[in-house]
Every structure is written in structure tokens, then in C-alpha cells.
A and B are shown apart, each in its own frame.
Chain A
């Protein structure tokens, strides 16, 4: 295990992605090491959500160029469920309501499918519930949510906390948070941040996608990237997020590619 924290967990090179015939990512490159928290910031329409979706394996995202290596695997060749079992987790910007599928049943099916894929023993319902209760407490979620259908009738905040609860339960190696802070009040934001911070470890990496700097006051990133027009245009330490807050995204676009910014705006 020695030196593991210095290995690349995720290496994205020159990634081009088309959605519905339109190129959204235009040569994105990014390296994430185990133990690191990377924030991806950027204006609306820059491709932030596309990045999360393409890493999780959503259909309709066509990779036309570039590569994504996760550990020693070509991530793009894996089915979404294989990516999950290999430790990739996407916290959805818009968690999906699934009427008729019980939350507990869903979570246990998910956890055991992943364990089975990894050759680990499946958890029985007692072991499973014990683990669930521990994680619920961290997110201040009520037991009652377990008995409902997946996300059905959950408030916006409950849905987002439920995503982080699932992350805590599934213990991924690479967690991608897609605008988990959007629509959250300050208390819910803190709960989400507590949930993430509790899970920070040398073996785990986070990709925190956000539009605002606010979440990064609570989840302090190691690296901040600015994504604009399908590429990373600037990277820096946590201080970069504050500069962005002060100057807006136009400032970065202007620094990186003045001619384009003048021509196309942001």
C-alpha cells in the first residue's frame, strides 16, 4: 500500500465528447491522485455535468477522442454497473425518483451487487441494516426514508443528502459530486460537507463539480480547476475558488484565451 496516495487514480487525456451531435467537451485533460479532492468550477454550459455523466457511463455521451484511465483500466470500456463496482460513484445533480422500488431493497441490491462483483460476501439484512443506521445518522436522515420508494416524494435537500448517504454506504474510491450543493440551504450544505469530509481518506478521491465557491468553504479542495467551453482553462489551489468568486468566470476566460472571450463571450 505504500506510496499509493501518489499514484494516479484517474487520468483523462484530451477528452472530446459529443451530446446530441454537439461537441461539449473539447479536449479536457485532468489527473486525480488517490487522497485528493479536486473541484471543477465553471460557468453554465461549460460541460461540468457532461464530465460527470461520461465518467459514470451514461448513454448518449459519445466519446470521439481522448482517453480515460481509471486505476489500470480503460474506464470508457466498462458498463455503468462495472464502473460502480470498481469504485466510481456519481452523486446526481437531479436524483431520479423511482416509484415502486423500495429504497432499502434498492440499496441492499446495489451494495451486494458491487460486493459480488468484487468477490466479497454479500451482506445479510442484519449486517446491512446496521451499516445503514450508522450512515443515516451522519447525514441526519430519518429512518423513514428507507421505507419509501427511491427518492419518491423526497424534498430537494433530502434527495441530495440521500445521494451522499448512498455514497457513504457504497464507499467508492472515486466520488463525483455533480452540483450537489445546488438548491441546498446552509444546514443541508453543511450536512453534505460533513458527509464528504468524514469520508476523505488517502485511498479515496473526490471530484466536486460546482458552480459556486460556497461548498468549497466546507469541503476544502486540494486542487481547483476552471472548466470553460469544454476544457480546463485554469488550475490552482483553493485560493483560485475565491478569486473566481471575486472576479467571475469572465476573468479566467479572458486570461486564458482573450481572443475567444472577446469573440464569443462567456
Chain B
């Protein structure tokens, strides 16, 4: 029943797809049972969505995509400078080319706006970093209403000795589902630093594949999912060390409350010849309710010599001793629980240089728990 969506969403052959969707099969099937119209690209953005992304700090450096289509009206790239070129081709396909340092981040917003009936959109985006150091903030948002299914494929191509810092915040209402495929290629001595935050959503699936293609290429992947209600988020990270002396450092944290469902699979492959590689993966998860569920699966495959590799994954509950300690000093239970969740996720957000942005993300993450 879910065959059409399964074919569309994911990588590899049929068996690999089937396997990678094993924890989200039911959620995907439910999506597949709906009929979808093509999402309206000219839909007006409700004020609630405008407020979510209209940050003073990124005015003039913002690209807004509404239901998969570049929005002339909401985008403003007057301040990005000569080093950034935004291109558009037919079929909801876009390219962003970065050639030279950009001091202040580009802000790319993907808005899901519901129609009168269930609708879906698809888009392809290619980001090429030709030279220098770039910063990009991606934001996925959505308005509550009839269901919307968004599907976005992106390629990040980092030329040798370039650097990209990507912060990706995906915060969806329960009527929106998103599939995201991110394929990144990191050249020699290039560095990709990513921080993904996944909040809400009927189903959000992130397939993130990174090829460390040139020697001394480096990936730092940070991520947090914080889920409540019946949220469902599934992240499948694949890192492939394809060249000598490449390094990856993966730190992901997951939190699930109520009846939420979180999945994290972190697979690292060190290919033959990628000698001297260094792979680290840490995934820790926190269950806040007995009805929540988190599945974590670290996987390491090593075909090279002189490789350093370490991985660890845990699923646990909030430390009741610590909670009592905080309360015994006068901190109300709800605040103490939020403090614990924030602390738990802090390591995964620590790498964000911009303190305001880091604080914003920490606040969004702790909002998974009610304030009182």
C-alpha cells in the first residue's frame, strides 16, 4: 500500500528501503492512504508563519520557499553580496552557489501551507560551496490545517578546503509530514558542520548521507529531536569515509514525551583505502513518558586499516535523583524537568557559534515539555 511513497522516499534498493523504514512503516502507510492535490505555491502565508521566520538578524539574506516554490514576495537577498548566486530552473529545482566567504548566515525557509484538501509538494535544491566559508540556517515550518506532505531533496557539494556551517530547524505542526533527503559531498580538507533540530510533525523523516570524499574531509553532525503528543521523527544518518584521514564526529540527542516516537539510525562506513580515518558517534535518548518510544541503532562497518572508531547509544529516563535535588532547592517540578531536558540536549547544541540562535533552539527544544 505504501509502495509508491516507499519508492519515492529513500535510497538504495527495495530491500534497503524496506529495512530503513521498518520503524516508520505504519506512519508512512497512513500517509500513502491519502489522496493529495498539488500544494498551492501561491498560498498566502498566515501571520503566524511570517512571525516564525521574520528574524531581524537575517533580513536581506533570506530565501523563502512556499510549498516547494521560490517565493519572490517573501524572499529578499539584497544583502547577501556577490559571493552568493541563487538560481532557478524548471520543476521546483533551485541552486545556491557560494563562492567566497559569507560573514553572516543565509536563511532558507521552507513553509508548508495547507490547502482546502490534503496536498503535497516536492522540490530539489543544490547548494555548492565553491570557495570560502559559508553559513546557512534552514528553517522548516508549517501551518496547522488540512494535511500537507512535503518532500525535499538537497545536495550539498563542498569543494576542497571549503567550510559549511548548517543549522537546520524543522518544527512542524501535527498536520504536516516531511520527507527530507540530504546528500552531501565533502572534498579534501573541507569541513561540514551540521546541527539538525527536529520538532513536531505527523511524520518527519530525515535521510542524511555524507560522503567524506577527499582526504582530511571532516563532518561534525549534531542533532536533537524533541517530540511530544503523537509526533514521529525518524533520522537515518549515513556517513561514508571514502578517503584517507577523514573524520566524523556525530553527537545526537533524542527526547520523547507522551506517545511520541523517535528513531535514530547512525551508520558509519569506512571504505577500503580510507586509512587513518577517525569516526565517533554518540547517541543518547531520554524517554519522558512510559508511552513514548525511541529506537536507536548505531552501525559501524570498517574495511580500512588504522581506523579509530567509537560509538555508543543509550535510551534512558530522567534522573529522578537529580530531579529531586533541583526540587529540594525550591525549583518547581515543571521547571526542573525542563532544566533536565535542556541539559540533556546541551551537548548537541553547544557547537552553534551564534549564542542567540543557540538559545532560540534550546528554548524550542525545552518547549517539548509543558511550562507548568
**Interface on A for B, CB 8 Å cutoff?**
56-59, 79-81, 83-85, 89-90, 92, 95-101, 106-107, 109-111, 113-114, 117, 149-150, 166, 170
Indicate if the CB atoms of A110 and B325 lie closer than 8 Å.
no
From residue B265, how far is it (CB to closest CB) to chain A in Å? 25
Indicate if the CB atoms of B330 and A113 lie closer than 8 Å.
yes
Indicate if the CB atoms of A98 and B325 lie closer than 8 Å.
yes
Chain B binding site: helix, strand, loop or mixed by DSSP? helix
The range of chain B's interface size is 20 to 34
Indicate if the CB atoms of B331 and A113 lie closer than 8 Å.
yes
Interface string of B136-154 (1 = CB under 8 A from A): 0000000000000000000
CA distance A117 to B321 in the complex (A): 23
Indicate if the CB atoms of B335 and A109 lie closer than 8 Å.
yes
From residue B324, how far is it (CB to closest CB) to chain A in Å? 6
Indicate if the CB atoms of B326 and A100 lie closer than 8 Å.
no
Q: Is B102 an interface residue (CB 8 A)?
A: no
Q: Which residues of A contact B346 (CB under 8 A)?
A: 100
Q: Is B6 an interface residue (CB 8 A)?
A: no
Identify which of residues 309-361 in chain B touch chain A, using a CB-to-CB cut-off of 8 Å: 319-322, 324-333, 335-336, 339-340, 342-344, 346-347
CA distance A90 to B333 in the complex (A): 17
Name which residue of chain B comes closest to A90, CB basis: B328
Indicate if the CB atoms of A170 and B330 lie closer than 8 Å.
yes
Indicate if the CB atoms of A117 and B344 lie closer than 8 Å.
no
CA distance A123 to B327 in the complex (A): 19
Identify 6 residue pairs between A and B in the complex whose beta-carbon atoms are under 8 Å apart, listed by A's number: A79-B333, A84-B329, A84-B330, A96-B321, A101-B343, A166-B329
Q: Which residues of B contact A166 (CB under 8 A)?
A: 329
Contact of B343 among A58, A83, A100, A107 (CB under 8 A): A100
From residue B314, how far is it (CB to closest CB) to chain A in Å? 14
CA distance A69 to B321 in the complex (A): 25
Central interface residue in B319, B331, B339, B344, by most chain A CB within 10 Å: B331
Indicate if the CB atoms of A81 and B320 lie closer than 8 Å.
no
Q: A100-B342, A101-B339 are in contact. Are A110 and B331 (CB under 8 A)?
A: yes
Q: Which residues of B contact A57 (CB under 8 A)?
A: 327-328
Q: A79-B333, A96-B322, A109-B335 are in contact. Are A84 and B343 (CB under 8 A)?
A: no
**Extra 9 A-B pairs, beta carbons < 8 Å, given A97-B322, A98-B319, A98-B340:** A58-B328, A79-B327, A89-B328, A98-B343, A100-B343, A101-B342, A106-B326, A110-B330, A113-B332
7 smallest beta-carbon distances between A and B, as pairs = A100-B343, A84-B330, A110-B329, A114-B330, A80-B327, A96-B325, A100-B346
Q: Which residues of A contact B329 (CB under 8 A)?
A: 84, 106-107, 110, 166, 170
Name which residue of chain A comes closest to B347, CB basis: A100
From residue A216, how far is it (CB to closest CB) to chain B in Å? 24
Indicate if the CB atoms of B331 and A81 lie closer than 8 Å.
yes
Indicate if the CB atoms of A117 and B324 lie closer than 8 Å.
no
From residue A172, how far is it (CB to closest CB) to chain B in Å? 10
Indicate if the CB atoms of A84 and B339 lie closer than 8 Å.
no
Central interface residue in B326, B329, B343, by most chain A CB within 10 Å: B329
Identify which of residues 206-248 in chain B touch chain A, using a CB-to-CB cut-off of 8 Å: none
Central interface residue in A58, A90, A92, A101, by most chain B CB within 10 Å: A101
Q: Which residues of A contact B319 (CB under 8 A)?
A: 96, 98
Interface string of B33-77 (1 = CB under 8 A from A): 000000000000000000000000000000000000000000000
Indicate if the CB atoms of A80 and B344 lie closer than 8 Å.
no
Indicate if the CB atoms of A92 and B331 lie closer than 8 Å.
no
Contact of A81 among B322, B333, B339 (CB under 8 A): B333
